[in-house]
Amino acid sequence: MFDPRNPTPSGPTPTGASQALRGQVIAINSQSIKIACSSCNLRELCMPMGLSKDELDKVDTLVDTRRKIKKGGALFHNGDKFTSLYAIRTGFFKTCVATEDGRDQVTGFQMAGEVMGLDGIVNDRHTCDAVALEDAEVCVLPFDRIEELSHDIPSMQRHVHKIMSREIVRENGVMLLLGSMRAEERLAAFLLNLVQRLHARGFSQTELVLRMTREEIGSYLGLKLETVSRAFSKFAEDGLIEVKQRHVHILNSEALRDLVNRPDCD
Amino acid sequence: MFDPRNPTPSGPTPTGASQALRGQVIAINSQSIKIACSSCNLRELCMPMGLSKDELDKVDTLVDTRRKIKKGGALFHNGDKFTSLYAIRTGFFKTCVATEDGRDQVTGFQMAGEVMGLDGIVNDRHTCDAVALEDAEVCVLPFDRIEELSHDIPSMQRHVHKIMSREIVRENGVMLLLGSMRAEERLAAFLLNLVQRLHARGFSQTELVLRMTREEIGSYLGLKLETVSRAFSKFAEDGLIEVKQRHVHILNSEALRDLVNRPDCD
DNA sequence: CGACACCTTGAAGAGGTTCAAGAAATGTGG
DNA sequence: CCACATTTCTTGAACCTCTTCAAGGTGTCG
C-alpha cells in the first residue's frame, strides 16, 4: 500500500511537470562521478534558466566539491564559519535554531534541489544547524565564487536574489502558520506543503514517507509530539489520510485544504 | 517621566555609538530636499561602508524618489507589482501577510534605516502589506538599479546579500519565538528587541513609545491582545517595567532577559 | 464635548501540554 | 536470524495556559 522508498526517484510514480527529471537518474545515482551543473537533473531547481553556452561553462566551474553527510550528521552547525552555500543533490535535511537555555526549533525541512546556508551570509557565521535526516549529498557552492558568477552573469545575480527572497517568503508563511493556526490546520498545511514539493520533484501527490520524527514535526509546527500524533490519528479517523508510522497516504487533499483555509468548519 | 516623542530624533537622549547621527537632523527634517545617500545620516544602516569617492557618486544616483506615507497608509500591498526596495527614512511600519480566509499575521515592525520589500523579488509581486504606523518617508530604490550597482560595486553586492540574509536570520528568530516561547517570554523578547534597535539609533535603552496597538503586538507574537495586555500588567506588577498605554519604561532589563532565557524561574 | 478606538480586567471555557503507560518499529550484538 | 535494548509512536487523563466573551475605563481626535 505504501511505497517506502520515497523520496528516492524510484518512489511513487513521477508525474506531470517533471517527467524531464527521470531520464538520467540511474547514471547519476550509480556513482559519485562529477556531474556538471549544466547536465544535472536538478538544474531547473538550483540554476537560472536560459543561459548561453558560454555562461553554462562558467557555471560548471562553480561546484568543485561534493559532500556526503550520513544520516544524523551535520552539514554545518550554529557558529561555524560561513564559506559556502549548499545545494542538496540527494537526501533530506532539517535546519534548527536554539535558545541559550537549550530549547530548539526546527526552522525548515529541505529536499533535493533546495539551497541551504543563506543564514550565514550576514555575519560570516552560521546561525543554525543543518542536519541530515537521511544519508545525503550536497554540492558545495563557495560563496565568493557565487558572487563572482553573479557579477559575470546577470541572470545568475537575479537567481541568487530570488532564492533568498523565496526563503524570506517561505518564512513569512511559517510565521503565519505559527502565529495564527490551530494544531490540525498546521499539520494539514505541513502535509500539503510537503506533498506539493515532492510532487514538483516527480513523486506522488497522494503518498509520502516522512523523513522526520513526530517530535521534529512538532518542533517545526510549534506543537508537542503528542499533539502531532493525535492530529494524525484524527485525520485518519476522519478519512482524510491513512497513516502507518511515517507512511502517509492522502485520501482527501481537498478536505485538508479546507481545513487550512476555513478552520471553523469541522 | 515618559518622553512621547520617541522615536523621532528629539526623543530620549541619543547615546553611544550613534552620536554621529545627530548633526544633520534638523536640516534634513525641515524640508523635503533631496539628500544624497552619501550624506544621509542613516547611511550606516542602509549602505555599505568603505566606498571610494567614485563609488559614492554612483550610489547617489540610486535614489531618485522619496515617498511619504501617511499614518495608516500602505507602502505596498500583497499582490502589487514589485519594482523597488524601500529604505525607511522616518517613521515606523508593520508588514503583514494574510490567509485566504482573512486572518492576518504581522511579520515584522520596521524602523528608520531598515529595508522593506524583499519579499517581492522572487515572484515580481509583493506577498505582504507594508503599512505605516505613523507618518513616514521612504527612499525608493528601484531594484534594477540596485542590481546594476551591485554589478559595478562589489561591496554593494555583498551588502544586498547581507541585508537579505539578515532578514532570513531575523525570521528564524521569530519562528523560535512563536514555536517555543510562552506569552510572557515572547513579550519580553519583543520589548528587548525593540529597545535594542532603538538604542542603536540613538534612543534610550530604557524608555520607549510603542507605535503599534496591543492587537498588532499580539498578532506579531501569536497572541491575543488581552494576553498581551495581561503580560504588560504582570511585568508592571513585578516591577520589571512601568507601562502607561504605549509608553514603556524598562526598570529591570536583566530580569526581562532572564525571562527569555530561563522560562521556568519566576 | 462626544464618538470612537484602544486598553484593562474578570470569569468561564477550550485547546494544547504534561505525565504516564504501553505498543510498534528499528537497530545491535551474539 | 533471533533476542534484547532503544527509539519512536499512540493513547488516556489531569492540568495549565491562553482564548473567548463581556464590561468598563482611558485616551484621542474631529
Please write the tens of the pLDDT for every residue from B108-130.
999 999 999 999 999 999 999 99
Please write the tens of the pLDDT for every residue from B186-227.
999 999 999 999 999 999 999 999 999 999 999 999 999 999
Which one, of A129, A154, A206, lies nearest residue B172 by Cα? A129
Q: Is the pLDDT of residue A29 over 50?
A: no
Å from A233 (CA) to C21 (C1')?
Answer: 19
pLDDT (0 to 100) of residue B33:
58
In B10-128, DSSP assigns E strands to 65-69, 74-76, 84-90, 92-98, 104-111, 115-116
pLDDT (0 to 100) of residue B258:
94
Over range A98-110, report the average pLDDT: 91
Which one, of B120, B125, B116, lies nearest residue B163 by Cα? B116
pLDDT (0 to 100) of residue A39:
85
Residue B248 contacts A where some CB pair is shorter than 8 Å: no
The CATH code that applies to domain A17-173 is 2.60.120.10
pLDDT (0 to 100) of residue A64:
80
Q: Flag the least confident range among A134-143, A204-213, B193-202, B257-266.
A: B257-266
Q: Cα–Cα distance between B130 and A177 in angstroms, integer?
A: 19
AA letter at A8: T
* Pair A228, A187: CB distance under 8 Å: yes
pLDDT (0 to 100) of residue B190:
98
pLDDT (0 to 100) of residue A41:
83
pLDDT (0 to 100) of residue A196:
97
Over range B77-102, report the average pLDDT: 94
pLDDT (0 to 100) of residue A100:
83
Q: Is the pLDDT of residue A6 over 80?
A: no
Band of residue A264 on the pLDDT scale cut at 50, 70, 90: low
User: How many other CB atoms sit within 10 Å of the CB of residue B50?
Assistant: 6
The alpha carbon dihedral of B255, B260, B265, B266 has a sign of positive
Residue B171 contacts A where some CB pair is shorter than 8 Å: yes
Band of residue B35 on the pLDDT scale cut at 50, 70, 90: confident
User: How many other CB atoms sit within 10 Å of the CB of residue A182?
Assistant: 12
User: B125: which DSSP letter?
Assistant: B
Whether domain B182-261 has CATH 1.20.58.1610: the reply is no
Q: Which residue has the cell 514535526?
A: A217
* Pair A141, A83: CB distance under 8 Å: no
Q: Is the pLDDT of residue A75 over 50?
A: yes
Nearest-CA distance B98 → chain A (Å): 7
Q: Is the pLDDT of residue A160 over 90?
A: yes
Over range A20-35, report the average pLDDT: 43
Q: Over the Cα atoms of chain B, what is R_g? A: 19
Q: Which residues pair with B129 in a beta bridge?
A: B96
Q: Cα–Cα distance between B179 and B36 in angstroms, integer?
A: 42
- Give residues 190 to 209 of B whose Cβ lies within 8 Å of A: none
CB contact under 8 A, A147 and B161: yes
CB contact under 8 A, B147 and A162: no
pLDDT (0 to 100) of residue A71:
93
Chain D positions with any atom < 7 A from a protein CB: 8-13, 17-22, 26-28
B135 touches strand C (CB under 7 A): no
Q: Which residues pair with A244 in a beta bridge?
A: A247
Over range B81-85, report the average pLDDT: 97
Residue A155 contacts B where some CB pair is shorter than 8 Å: no
Q: Cα–Cα distance between B28 and B35 in angstroms, integer?
A: 7
* Pair B242, B251: CB distance under 8 Å: yes
Interface test with A, best of B164, B166, B264, B265 (most A CBs within 10 A): B164
List, in order, residues 6 or more apart from B35 with CB less than 8 Å away: B28
Q: Which residues pair with B65 in a beta bridge?
A: B140
The chain-wide mean pLDDT, for chain B, equals 87
Å from B8 (CA) to D26 (C1')?
Answer: 25
Q: Which three cell numbers stand for residue B159?
A: 551588502
Domain ranges of chain A: 17-173, 182-261
Got the DSSP string for A32-97? -----GGG-TTHHHHS-SS--HHHHHHHTTT--EEEEE-TT-EEE-TTPBP-EEEEEEESEEEEEE
Band of residue B229 on the pLDDT scale cut at 50, 70, 90: very high
Which one, of B193, B181, B168, lies nearest residue B223 by Cα? B181
AA letter at A239: G
Q: Is the peptide bond before A7 cis (omega within 30 degrees of 0)?
A: yes
Q: Is the pLDDT of residue B26 over 80?
A: no
Got the DSSP string for A223-245? --HHHHHHHHHHHHHTTSEEEET
Over range A126-132, report the average pLDDT: 97
Residue B237 contacts A where some CB pair is shorter than 8 Å: no
* Pair B68, B136: CB distance under 8 Å: yes
Q: Flag the least confident range among A39-48, A60-69, A102-111.
A: A39-48
Q: Flag the least confident range among A57-61, A249-253, B244-248.
A: A57-61
Q: Flag the least confident range among A186-200, B13-27, B112-126.
A: B13-27
Q: Which three cell numbers stand for residue B26?
A: 534638523
The chain-wide mean pLDDT, for chain A, equals 87
pLDDT (0 to 100) of residue A139:
95
The more confidently predicted of residues B237 and B28 is B237
Q: Which three cell numbers stand for residue A5?
A: 522508498
Q: Is the pLDDT of residue B12 over 60?
A: no
User: How many other CB atoms sit within 10 Å of the CB of residue A23?
Assistant: 10
Over range A175-188, report the average pLDDT: 97
Backbone angles phi, psi at A13, to 5 degrees: -45, 120
Q: What angle do CA B127, B132, B137 make, to 5 degrees?
A: 105
* Pair B209, B12: CB distance under 8 Å: no
Given strand A129-132, what is the order of strands in its sheet? A74-76, A129-132, A92-98, A104-111
Over range B57-72, report the average pLDDT: 91
Q: What angle do CA B83, B88, B94 make, to 5 degrees?
A: 85
Instruction: From residue B265, give the alpha-carbon distance in Å to each of A105, B190, B191, B252.
Output: 21, 19, 19, 16
Band of residue A236 on the pLDDT scale cut at 50, 70, 90: very high
pLDDT (0 to 100) of residue A103:
87
The more confidently predicted of residues B23 and A214 is A214
